[in-house]
Structure 1
Amino acid sequence: MLEYIWLDDESPILKHLPVEYTSAAILFSPFIQMPEGWEKAERKNEYEHIYPNDQEVREKGKAVTWKEIMSSCGFQTHAELGLALKTSIFALRDEYAREDLAERLHANLKGDLFYPSEDHISNFHIPALVKVLRYNGSNRFYYSEPIVENSGFLDTTEANLRMVLDEAAAELMLTDEKMDFVFMSVYDSFINVFLAKDENIHDMVQGMGWEAMFCDESTYISWYR
């Protein structure tokens, strides 16, 4: 089976891939809008930090696009929002951090609006994941968690994907049985990476409703810099 692909910023994403994979896209995990008053009802005291768990996100959460957040914050590009997010979780060295962007983001996340899923594949992607993992006739998907050395095959259902995502560590790879498509989480980040053997994945990404940036020969995993 395909081994987990470790992406570093020493070379472009496409250079990291096995030769059969010709296309890649960075998928922006949606922000999470919970019902009005949800955080106040859940918080035990005014200092407690509350974040919805996976089940709460699926049952009550609504996806909010990066473009919507960019508009409310006055950001011009996805890269500015990416820098704001990475800075706010202390995932950047000082020379790359943008405290001004992080402060602007924080000031605009009001009410019951929360950051996207960090390190993980977004729960909002599950229905589309099922479609893609079954796209070429595969009925099972393969999952791999290299950090905890956990892997295996499961039938491609929403219930099985929910289970894997709920229990996964910070690094996770999913692929269909034929290994035509690959989804990967990215540590200390709010994106996923989508790989395909097909040279043109634009139609599929757009058909799934994913907010994405398509990779070319100059796209690094540190795409926001």
Structure 2
Amino acid sequence: MPSDDVTSPFLIPGLLDVFRSKGIKRCIYYEPVEEKGLFSLNQTAASDVCGLLRADMIIADEKRRAAFMSIYDSFTTLFLMEEQDIQSVVRAMNWEAVICSDTACINWYSQ
């Protein structure tokens, strides 16, 4: 079973599918303290990405048009994308989401 402080591995296959559907070939991952790297979406299995996950982790495409972030000690994950119709992505992936507009403040969740 996943730890409370690590992103659920059940989210990762869908996340990678969204990246692939947008024509993204390679992703960068960051762990704020220790780790960073690059992986190819066509050569990396979801289980391999799950092995990279830490409590605080960012996965983004190389051009930083889309990013996924897990927040330590929180049940919050963020998915950020330049896509104009983010609602269709959320609906297609059957994700539960709060969709923010351009005018949303950065700390909307604490309001």
Q: Structure 2 length as normaliser, TM-score? A: 0.79
Root-mean-square deviation (CA), in Å?
Answer: 2.4
Partner residue, 2:66: 181
Which one-letter code corresponds to 2:22 in the other structure?
A: N
Give 1:87-106 correspondences, 5 Å limit.
Answer: none
Per-residue displacement from partner, 1:123-149 (whole Å, max 9, x unpaired)? 11122112111122222221111121x
Query: 2:28 is matched by which residue type in structure 1?
Result: Y
The Cα shift of 1:201 comes to 0.8
Instruction: Could you tell me which runs of 5 or more consecutive residues in structure 1 were left unpaired when the two chains were aligned.
Output: 1-51, 54-116
Q: Find the structure with the greater CA-based Rg.
A: 1
8 A contact 2:26–2:61 mirrored in 1: yes
Q: Which runs of 4+ in 1 moved over 3 A?
A: 157-161
Matched, 1:220 2:107: yes
Measured after TM superposition, the shift of residue 195 of structure 1 is 0.4
Listed as ranges, the matches of 1:54-203 within 5 Å are 118-148=4-34, 150-156=35-41, 160-203=45-88
Q: Cα distance 1:178–1:218, how it changes in 2: closer, same or farther (>3 A)?
A: closer
Q: Which one has the bigger helix percentage?
A: 1
- For 1:129 and 1:183, the matched residues in 2 are separated by 8
> Residues 182 and 196 of structure 1 are in contact (CA less than 8 Å); yes or no, is this contact kept in structure 2?
yes
More strand per residue: 2
Instruction: Provide TM-score, normalisation by structure 1.
Output: 0.42
Q: Which has the higher contact order (CA 8 A, sep 6+)?
A: 1
1:157 is displaced (CA, Å) by: 5.2
Q: Calculate percent identity across the aligned residue pairs.
A: 33
Amino acid at match of 1:137: G
CA drift of 1:224 comes to 5.8
Shift of 1:208: 0.8
Q: How many residues of Structure 1 are paired with residues of Structure 2 in the alignment?
A: 109
Secondary structure of the 1:174 match is strand
Kept after mapping to 2: 8 A contact 1:134/1:176 = no
User: Any idea what SS the aligned residue of 1:134 has?
Assistant: helix
